[in-house]
Amino acid sequence: MISFVNLTAQREKYRFELEKAEREVLDSGCYIGGPQVQALEKELSEYLGGNTHTITCASGTDALTIALMTMELHPGDEVIVPDFTFIAPAECVALLGGFPQFADIDRKTLQIDPKSVKELIGPRTKGIIAVNLFGQCAPFKELREIATEHKLWIIEDSAQAFGARTNQMACTFGDIAITSFYPSKPLGCYGDGGALFTANEDYAQKIRMIANHGSAGRYQHEIAGMNSRLDALQAAVLRVKLRHLDEELVVRRQNAAMYDAFFAEYNRTAAAGEKIVPQKIETGCKCTYAQYTVLAENREGFIQKLKAAEIPYCIHYPSALRNQPCFRLYRKEPLGGIIWTEEDHPDPNSVKVSRKTISLPVCAFTDVAEIIEKLKANL
Ligand SMILES: Cc1ncc(COP(=O)(O)O)c(C=O)c1O
């Protein structure tokens, strides 16, 4: 059976290095913080070019929450988030009492649309959370221009994109950037884990404090913070995997290129209602392909064929965030609060895309040639 993310094959390949690193931690008696975590933070900063402070924490979701606390988000503040992404960015804003405002996306790249961001800016807007969706960098040049003009901060959610780059590395665009080390991420550990990155010394100090019970020194708590730590075992695993990240990303990109070529050929003869179009990756972006995502005009029909061919798939994401029950109250209706209808306002791209999107296995340990043979036989 093909797995969606083949973590067992990855472990098999690095078994010797991983077991040695894991044993060292277990024998060390130091399980939280300590030299492994410090070494990982240093190595992550070096990977990003050396100008970035790295602070690890317990998950990507915690990292977003800590970033928002560092920016001093107050109840009632508004933060613009993409409408089509994992729930965490909007959820963290809401949990801190803020109001997420849902920006539409580009229907081809699936990234946040700067035009839509601009339209949402109001007197209570404090910042933008830009997500590097599926491993492609968000349009930071335009977003930064908007942020500068309106005095907003940018939090870069790079949970899916550690290792991506355009003219600069992902995780260096935002005032604060975050990533997730959830096991299936391009750089994943064996549990939950996350990190924050910033070039700003003051933010870095504050992040460390918030992640450690708001504490500057032992039993001295400057602010109410949280307990969000990466443990030493996860750090040791991540240090091994970081050494192999670039070679894995090369294979992920090769896998994606094989799919691209297959779907280009398929679309030459497919009927309009059967076309399957990959997410557009902007020229110059080196994507991590956390997901290889396509838009299938007939998603249900495609799913039946994938099932017949025993090819695993995931739907990232089946709903735009604005339509999630938990966010109904946050929706800002245009036209002065008048509830809009489909006739007045057609669905935004985020909603349209959520009806077509579907992701295929792409990790460095997936045999994409085998999957393409199965697709050829079934499509
Ligand atoms: C875009 C995005 N942001 C944040 C997160 C949250 O990361 P974690 O699962 O480590 O809390 C995820 C996880 O899937 C994600 O995809």
* pLDDT tens figures, 205-221: 999 999 999 998 889 99
Cα angle value 17/23/25 (rounded, 5°): 105
pLDDT of residue 350: 96
In the predicted model, what is the mean pLDDT of the chain? Answer: 95
- Ligand 1, atom 8, lies closest to the CA of 60
Distance (angstroms) between ligand 1 centre and the Cα of 59 equals 8
Please answer whether residues 276 and 295 qualify as being in contact, where contact means their C-beta atoms are separated by less than 8 angstroms.
yes
CB of 180 within 6 A of ligand 1: the answer is yes
Report the share of the chain in percent with pLDDT over 70: 96
Residue 337's pLDDT band, with cuts at 50, 70 and 90, is: very low
Distance (angstroms) between ligand 1 centre and the Cα of 84 equals 13
Beta strands in 69-204 (DSSP E): 78-82, 99-103, 125-131, 153-157, 176-180, 194-198
Distance (angstroms) between ligand 1 centre and the Cα of 339 equals 31
Taking 80 as the threshold, does the pLDDT of residue 102 lie above it? yes
Name 367's Cβ contacts closer than 8 Å, sequence gap at least 6.
2
For residue 194, the ligand 1 atom closest to its alpha carbon is 10
- Averaged pLDDT for residues 46-58: 97
Please answer whether residues 55 and 82 qualify as being in contact, where contact means their C-beta atoms are separated by less than 8 angstroms.
no
- Averaged pLDDT for residues 227-250: 98
Taking 90 as the threshold, does the pLDDT of residue 47 lie above it? yes
The tokens for 218 are 């032992």
Residue 333's pLDDT band, with cuts at 50, 70 and 90, is: low
CB of 103 within 6 A of ligand 1: the answer is no
Taking 70 as the threshold, does the pLDDT of residue 62 lie above it? yes
CB of 157 within 6 A of ligand 1: the answer is yes
For the chain, domains (ranges, CATH) are: 7-240 (3.40.640.10), 245-378 (3.90.1150.10)
pTM of the model: 0.96
pLDDT of residue 216: 87
CB of 182 within 6 A of ligand 1: the answer is yes
Residue 58's pLDDT band, with cuts at 50, 70 and 90, is: very high
Q: How many CB atoms lie within 10 A of CB 55?
A: 29
CB of 99 within 6 A of ligand 1: the answer is no
pLDDT of residue 346: 78
